Structure 1
Amino acid sequence: MSDPLTYSYYGGSAHRWPAQPRLDGDRQCDVVVIGGGFTGLSAALACAERGFSVVLLEKEKIAFGASGRNGGQLIPGLRWTASELEKDFGPQRADALFDLCWRQNPVRARIEKHGINCDQKSGHLEAAWTPADFDATRREAEYLSARFNYRSDVVPKSDMGAHIDSGLYHGGIYDPQGGHFHPINYAIGLGKAALAAGVTIFEDCRAFGVEDGLQPVVSALGGDIRAKHVIMAADSWMSDIWTGNVGLRLGRYTVPIMNYNIATAPLPDADALLPSDAAVADSRFVLNYFRLSADKRLIFGGGERYSQTPPRDIAAFVRPFMAQVFPQIAEAKIDYGWGGAVAVTMNRLPHIGRRGNVFFAHGFSGHGALVTTLAGELIAEAMAGTAERFDVLAGLPSRPFPGGKWLRRPLATLGLLWYALRDRLG
């Protein structure tokens, strides 16, 4: 897969990031963070702000993984609706999860605090693929208003033209608390803030293993690092890191799904496509998601592949999905096509927790642009001795995919293909 910092639209429009050195020799610090995406960067920054000495290890360059390859959509909440959370976990836990995942906006707070220029815009629309989906969306909006006094606007099909110039959808729900941004520029802003706070970042530095104990040791390319705490934030690459005495095999809890995005050339009629400039994601299991960039390109994600091999022509793979939604630009010039792996859990809720002095967060299941920053900050809180909010997310249920090392991915793929088939039949 081409490096998105070089070949994606985000890479082509990224701010300057100073290349960081490779690890050369053993080190000692308070906290080692493994992974330079949103989770790892926000955790490193928040730990440094609390006075910890922090080293961050990134196997490639910062934001190389899902943090630099996503659709740039900022969607409040989790993959489960708030009503589903209350039904399964009860009102008290639902209240706590809602306060964290809907009412908090740590991304906006970081952007404002550090003056990060990342094209942040407000507004997110969930578009209903079927009339039944719209009915469910409308009920959820009514529930959010009555239960949490949370504003979201029901948009009937007759009013969808205010948001999207497509007759494909049957209405939707507009959330002004959501939005979209340039993800790599956000990551670069976090990285620069982390450096200014005293974090040492090593790039091109793969972590091979973690040995737990009173003072964990991270074995990495270039040396070993002894620390009081370790934060594992490698998402789809978690299974590449051997965890010794902790007894963890975190890779068993997720499977990678390949998602692909395209960016058109700047469109003269871009504002007519999405008049409210909201980000849009539809209600299908294999969803379409799209938005306008700051320079009036349509950034469109569609389709999934369960093979790790990317299509030979990403633009040709995604174009039919775009053309279905916007037939008026079916032949538009496509300047960029990119993709990467999203780590998905069994229940599509993130897998967050700790084992002794090792903390971890991964499996955000394609809904992570907001909650990853939150997870990193909550880990720093817990490390500093206040674990109440961390425990809310760490208490989410999780279990590994069945099938062991060799059958886990094929069995998961069969299940995912079934849900994808339901989209086509439905």
Structure 2
Amino acid sequence: MSARFSIRKLGAQGDGVAETETGDLFIPFTLPGETVTAARERDRAMLMAVLEASPLRIDPACCHFTECGGCALQHFEAEAYRQWKREKVAHILKGKGIDCEIGDLVACAPQTRRRVVLAARRTETGMLLGFHRHLSPEIVAISECPISLPEIVAALDLLRALAELVCATAKSFRLAVTVTGSGLDVAVHESGKLGEHQRRIAANFVMAQGFARLSIDDEIIIEPKKPVVMFGGVAVALPPGAFLQATEAAEQAMADIVGGHLKRAKKVADLFAGCGSFALRLAAKSEVHAVEGDAAALSALDRGSRFATGLKRVTGERRDLFRRPLTFKELNAFDGVVFDPPRAGAEDQSKQIARSDVPYVAAVSCNPVTLARDLRILIDGGYALKSVTPIDQFLWSPHVEAVALLEKPKKRR
């Protein structure tokens, strides 16, 4: 049964928030100041109709918006949307007692996302390929995607056909699709165990369509061409399922901010280095020690540095920084540090950095909540927070990246 609600603000996940007698009610796809009808279920509700629209409501860019769960905010006017993301970072930092001027949001253009994770499932009427419905295991088949690079959208029918060929399960499974300089890299997960005949058919399809690689659960089925991306001027062949920033423009923006901060550092530690998106750019001016827990990613970084020209010395170390962070004594060998951890952040590593004498630190994060926690540790350890720049890498979603730059005065001897 539906009821009438007034939307007071946007919540952290981009849902409109209405006050009710029993507490806040979250209504997706609504905006502050709107009056709507919605069908309530506990603390959430399904939007039925917008009775009084906000002047900031605009037409969404995609025909699947509100059905597909990939985007939450296509209905929000662009400048107001960007301001909301910037204020979200400021609000979370302020909650940790960090009152810092937040830079302008680095915007994300449509049709720039180079890596998407599609959901697939075989049904009686054919193979479904798309994204999960909002807060649901149901897959919504898609025919367009305005956030993704055109190469991905143009290949949707081929990817659906490939999903059909590799499917050996009644359950849903995932296809991570990455646009590389060599073609599409498709990493399939949880599609079931393939027989030899099925593997050959899938491999022949990949060859015929010009894809760079097909892997299933990190096993390479066929790799006609090494999937290569550029980190600055360095070519790196990605291992199957490797982490890669979602958009090339956001990656470059983050690298420019970090590189500008560390330009005076002769020796830099890159922690949670991945395949080298920061390390290989920083190595143009500084010696870099890259620390990463994933062996395949570290190997890709090492190969990229060895075949590149004009770089300073690059060394690598495989190390689980969650279990064994670099100690403050080890860190004191460097005059610059950049760390870019997963969403969980880098609490223990931050405690060691806070105790160190490293003068320049750059913290990169995809989660403002854990970033705020880690920055609080660094500030309490004597670091001065110089700037925070939010970066909209995940267009029309509630997620926001940020780069924070810190300095610690050198101790007088």
The normalised TM-score by structure 2 is 0.26
Choose 1 or 2 for highest CA Rg: 2
Structure with more of its chain in strand, by fraction: 2
Structure with more of its chain in helix, by fraction: 1
